[in-house]
Structure 1
Amino acid sequence: MSHDEQTSAAAGPSGSAAAASPSGRDASAGVSRRDLMGLAIGASATSLVVGAGAGLVGGAAYGQDQARRVMDAVAPASGIHQPGITTPVQEHLHFAAYDMMARTTRDDLAELLADWTYAANRLMQGLDVSATGALGGSPEAPPDDTGEAVGLPASNLTITFGFGPSLFDARFGLEGQRPPGLERLPAFLGDDLDPLRSDGDLCIQACADDPQVAVHAIRNLSRIAFGRATIRWSQLGFGRTSKTTAAQTTPRNLFGYKDGTANILADDTAALDQNVWVSASEGPAWLAGGSYLVARRIAMLIETWDRTRLAEQDRVVGRDKAAGAPLSGGDEFTAPDFGATDATGKPRIDRRSHVSLAHPDNNGGIRILRRGYNFVDGTTDLGRLNAGLFFLSFQKSPDRFITLQKALSTDAMGEYLRHVGSGLWAVPPAPASGASIGAGLLGA
């Protein structure tokens, strides 16, 4: 969508999208949440993202130039799909998994998702979570918004929601709606999973080019969930380890290698349809146009890797560290030649290298869309970096990821990695205008 199209398609600061929170009441008119549902959930007919010119942030009026900068920073609309999948990968992440609280009902779940949808639309415009926001409410009550993003632009914020296998049980009457493939991921060789950093009824992926904007989003969505859902675990990430557009350079991971060279790009619609989006014939109706999200917290044994000679690092990865080219020759974007041999007859790309085992040519053509991030969470009790890769991927079926992960069971890189967290969620399509995320699932 062009800038002009975004402007004309979206509600401005005085439009319906900024009117009131669906969980509360309009302060001036006493309008109920149910009355506002048709007005408050974004102006785009096919996407969570509203490419609106946000004229108010934290209750302060912006000048025209500043408002335009906010508009330009809003992540572009993504059709029927949620933002944060094919959107150009931002530099920072705050990911959170949630569990619904005991004794919550289907109505509680529907209300939470409606409130989250309303708030997400505002946050992605660079607005506070409600019209009163951080500074405009009663001095005798806690502010609606925590305020740490006042004055900051939208920073390309995207917010993506997912539903975990555990959500589909008798608590909410969703047993018959669970997709057949939506099961807890099986145990993989080398897993050392922490149950307190795995799974969850719901998940939210917040990505932005400003870390404070991403943290602000999760912080406020968690506040909105109070009494209905609690955070099970969360993860901060920095330094993207993939790209989704040709204009983005290939980033490097904490091992120093280019990561995501062959990732699926946003303009490759055929590859997205074949590998990422769930079609109407491949899942329940409520998931058509959606995808499946896998998150894996992968600890890297940084100190061990740093003491490994360069030639061995290249062998393990299957690529040249400097240029990112496959060891069979060429440049970064040259297709690996797994039949190429050196003067002694040995394969130039080791059969157990990461590139060899993960490549579509060796896995029946399976491809996934990656959106991973680096993380450093201080040091361990042994004084080593508590660091690694927060792996995120989108694929049209969980079986595709499972097949690839099993193929990596003999990966030479496994000596330097520990998989310590894991989760799988179904990611529904973006809601229609006036609806909330998951409306197709809940029939709301």
Structure 2
Amino acid sequence: MPEKESSVPPDAPTRRGLLGLVGAGVAGLAIGGVGGAGIASVLAKGAAADDAAADSDDGIVTFYGAHQAGITTPAQDRLHFASFRMVEGATRDDLIALFKDWTAAAAKLTRGEELGSGLEPDNSYLPPDDTGEAEGLHAGHLTLTFGLGHALFVGEDGTTDPFGIKHQLPKQFEPLPNFAFDLLEGTQSGGDLCVQACADDPQIAVHAIRNLSRIAIGRAHLVWSQLGFGRTSSTSRSQDTPRNLFGFKDGTMNIMSEETKALSQHVWVGDNAPEWLRGGSYLVARKILMTLESWDRSSLREQERVFGRTKRSGAPLSGGAEFDQPDFSAQQQSGDPAIDVAAHVRLAHPDNNEGTRILRRGYNFVDGSNPLGQMGGGLFFISFQSDPAAFVRVQKSLKPDLLNEYIRHVGSGLWAVPGGVKKGEFLAQALFE
């Protein structure tokens, strides 16, 4: 069904979104005469936002564009990733209203602006529209990247059409299969919607997810999230290659934002997809727990054999420098391969995956420690690809990977990332037209 035109500006929260901002405990005040002036102020300020002026400010990554930000954007150092589920009984109109409200909020948050009436509402008997913990921190290169889960189109049982968008499901969008050695936990997997918040400051990223969660009240709720620090890959040639918690350089051969042709081929969805997804991508998230204590007892020789690279420089064991192509035919004096047949770099390399490439954008994480004193740390792996089959192809190749002895996959998710948002439109608008 086509969506009816709305008289509410795209940058203005919907009535239900306003109730999410105010909170269920005082919703009655907003509906009655006491909160009317506050709501009018929120709408006025939302509609009057000046995007063009803000986009030129330092530290701002514009929310609008042909593609969503947070994919080829130079990877920031901090992450707050969140997964949401629609509440039981939520309707198509609820989903549309949520996307409109999230769009309006994202445009402001990425400019470093306060939401609604900010920290100080006109009516002091109402809670502030903005939680306030990012006050004074500015934009911090915040990017917000939104994704849609498979169940949003066909329900949890895979056969229903809860929001009237089943006919818009791309044929490539199938749930990920079970992979060897998966130990997935339901509490850290899946979701109808996801939001990837990346920023220079962790408080900016947390502030964004916190406020988007408040706005979603009554329509969607947060089901799991993950904090990340220390990017584990570069998305621009201007960035140095970072290291993961195993101490090795990670993502050396990643697709870079400067590789326009590779992005078109491997990352961006083309014209063969529904209009709402064109210029978008598919986001895979995998929470990978590292058995750090076992790794730390391994010799340097063993660690380098596992990765197929030297630990200090990141150069392939076949010789050369970090960014030199590995020579998989090179041999040691003993006649054994210079790069082990089960080394990570060999199994993941495009040459051994029919030319498949993905854009990696992961982060380190530490979730405390267990009673045995073992650190709960690892890699929150994120990748973008034009077809989920690309990730599946590479992941299946890693079945004999030597690295599997030291890692456990405990969380997983796949989301379709709509194309970028134009000013005056809202997230995934073409999905409902």
TM-score, normalised by the number of residues in structure 1: 0.86
Whether 2:148 is the aligned partner of 1:163: answer yes
2:5 corresponds in structure 1 to none
Provide the residue aligned with 1:277 in structure 2.
Answer: 268
Aligned to 2:431: 441
- Corresponding position of 1:179: 170
Deviation per CA, 1:328-351, whole angstroms, max 9, x where unpaired?
A: 000101100000001111110001
Deviation of 1:136 (Å):
3.6
* 1:267 corresponds to: 258
Match of 1:107 in 2: 93
Asked if the contact 2:55/2:61 (under 8 Å) is kept, the reply is no
Distance 1:134 1:19, change over 3 A: farther
Distance 2:371 2:399 in 1: 28
- Contact persistence 2:11–2:104 (CA under 8 A): no
> For the aligned residues, what is the CA RMSD?
2.3
* CA distance in 2 between partners of 1:165 and 1:19 (Å): 27
Q: 1:38-53 residue pairs with structure 2 within 5 A? A: 39=47, 43=51, 51-52=54-55
Give the equivalent residue in structure 2 for 1:139: 124
Query: Against the structure 1 CA distance between its residues 380 and 432, is the aligned structure 2 distance closer, same or farther, given a 3 Å change threshold?
Result: same
2:361 to 347, 363, 371: 371
* C-alpha displacement of 1:27: 4.3
Q: How far 1:215 moved relative to its partner?
A: 0.3
Deviations 1:289-315 (A, max 9, x none): 100000000000000000000000000
Match of residue 13 from structure 1: none
- What letter corresponds to residue 233 of structure 2 in structure 1? S
Change (3 A) 1:176 1:41: farther
User: Please, which moves more after superposition, 316-325 or 16-25?
Assistant: 16-25
2:89 partner amino acid:
R
Amino acid at match of 1:205: Q
Partner Cα distance (1:148, 1:213) in 2: 8
- Partners of 1:28 and 1:174 lie apart in 2 by 35
C-alpha separation in 2, matches of 1:179 and 1:189: 26
Aligned residue identity for 2:254: N
Residue 21 of structure 1: aligned partner: 13
Give 2:305's aligned residue: 315
- C-alpha distance in structure 1 between counterparts of 2:10 and 2:140, whole Å: 19
Aligned twin of 1:249: 240
User: Residue 209 of structure 1 corresponds to which residue in structure 2?
Assistant: 200
Q: After TM superposition, give the deviation of residue 181 of structure 1 in Å.
A: 2.0
CA distance in 2, matches of 1:390, 1:114: 29
Deviation at 1:382, TM superposition (A): 2.7
Equivalents in 2 of 1:317, 1:370: separation in Å? 17
Per-residue CA distance 1:14-38 (angstroms, 9 max, x = gap): xx999753444994894997x999x
Distance change >3 Å, CA 332–CA 31, structure 1 → 2:
same
Distance (whole Å) between structure 2 residues aligned to residue 154 and residue 26 of structure 1? 30
- Tell me whether 1:349 sits opposite 2:334 in the alignment: no
Aligned residues: 402
Cα distance in 1 for partners of 2:250, 2:54 equals: 30
Identity among equivalent positions (%) equals 53
Q: Which amino acid aligns with 1:82?
A: Q
Contact in 2 for aligned 1:164/1:199 (Cα 8 Å) = yes
Question: What's the offset of the Cα at 1:110?
Answer: 0.3
TM-score (norm 2): 0.88
Residues 115-142 of structure 1: per-residue CA shift (max 9 Å, x gap)? 0010000000001122x11124421011
Deviation at 1:77, TM superposition (A): 6.4
SS in 1 for 2:398: helix
Cα distance between partner residues in 1 of 2:45 and 2:38: 13
The counterpart of 2:350, out of the listed 360, 367, 376, is 360
Q: Name the SS of the counterpart of 2:399 in structure 1.
A: helix
Deviations 1:152-193 (A, max 9, x none): 111100000000001002210111111112222110001000
The one-letter amino acid of 1:368's match is: I
Distance (Å, rounded) in 1 between the aligned partners of 2:213 and 2:120: 19
Matched, 1:95 2:76: no
Q: Tell which deviates more after alignment, 185-194 or 77-86.
A: 77-86
Write the distance in 1 (CA, Å) between the matches of 2:40 and 2:125. Answer: 19
